């Protein structure tokens, strides 16, 4: 009789990124920050604001990099995101010398980072009068 290999246990499917995705995302973020700091992009919208890349999330196959950006000194972060999107192919080309160890350069997609606004909203809610009254044992509802 032929021997059968023992079956591997199935992996639990989770939405949490793998260590490899996190490591590559941080490498892409670091390289992207270096390229943006050099000021190689000739765009008036990008020149007027200080662009910060707060996080890069990689797809599981490492072919797509979603870069979350915030912009100081800009009235509208969406305009900065659109400007970066217009220059995504140029930036991808500039990243390749920085990321020589990668087999393929990921496609860059830019998103506005809303984590600071979300934090501020939660902070306002926690410090509101309604929450304070509930914590102190307010009106007995």
Measured distance CA(90)–CA(85) in Å, rounded: 10
State both tokens at 55: 């996080």
C-alpha of 103 from chain center = 21
- pTM of the model as a whole: 0.73
Residues 6+ apart with CB under 8 A from 111: 66, 67, 68, 69, 81
For the chain, the structural domain boundaries read 19-113
CATH architecture of structural domain 19-113: 2-Layer Sandwich (3.30)
The pLDDT of residue 125 is 85
Cβ neighbourhood burial of 65 (10 Å; 0-12, 13-18, 19+): buried
The pLDDT of residue 45 is 80
The pLDDT of residue 26 is 94
The pLDDT of residue 42 is 85
**What string of pLDDT tens digits covers the 141 residues of the chain?**
566 666 665 555 557 888 999 999 999 999 999 998 888 888 888 877 888 899 999 999 999 999 999 888 777 888 889 999 999 999 999 888 888 888 888 999 999 988 877 888 888 888 888 877 877 875 544
Per DSSP, which regions of the chain are E strands? 50-58, 64-72, 107-112
In the chain, the largest separation of any two C-alpha atoms, in whole Å, equals 77
The pLDDT of residue 1 is 56
């Amino acid at each position: 009789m032929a021997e059968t290999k023992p079956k591997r246990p199935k992996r639990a499917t989770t939405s949490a990124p793998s260590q490899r995705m996190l490591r590559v995302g941080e490498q892409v973020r670091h390289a992207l920050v270096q390229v943006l700091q050099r000021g190689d992009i000739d765009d008036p919208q990008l020149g007027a604001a200080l662009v910060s890349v707060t996080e890069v999330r990689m797809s599981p196959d490492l072919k797509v990099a979603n870069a979350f950006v915030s912009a100081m000194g800009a009235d509208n972060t969406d305009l900065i995101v659109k400007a970066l999107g217009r220059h995504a192919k140029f930036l991808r080309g500039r990243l390749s010398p920085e990321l020589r160890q990668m087999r393929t350069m990921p496609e860059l997609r830019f998103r506005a980072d809303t984590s600071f606004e979300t934090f501020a909203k939660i902070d306002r809610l926690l410090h509101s009068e309604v929450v304070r009254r509930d914590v102190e044992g307010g009106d007995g509802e």
